[in-house]
Amino acid sequence: MLLALKMALMHRGVRQYDAARLLGITETRLSRIMCGRLEATEDEKKRLAQLLQTRVEDLFADADPDAGGSR
């Protein structure tokens, strides 16, 4: 699970649904990214970081590259 991403959303007061809409992706896709079942594209990572006013590295630092999710 991308705990840093979840915490950043909470800290900024951005609901998952709203973040997904602002990014132009489905809430299901964002949920799968957040739980580590799907890897975000580089563009999605950049847009999430911009939305949450932080660095990509801070949001995705706890991503496990060996989690076995779809890449």
Residue-wise pLDDT tens digits, 7-57: 999 999 999 999 999 999 999 999 999 999 999 999 999 999 999 999 999
In the DSSP assignment, the letter for residue 7 is H
Q: Which of 10, 12, 4 is nearest to 51 (CA)?
A: 12
- The token duo for 6 is 């979840």
The pTM assigned to this predicted structure is 0.82
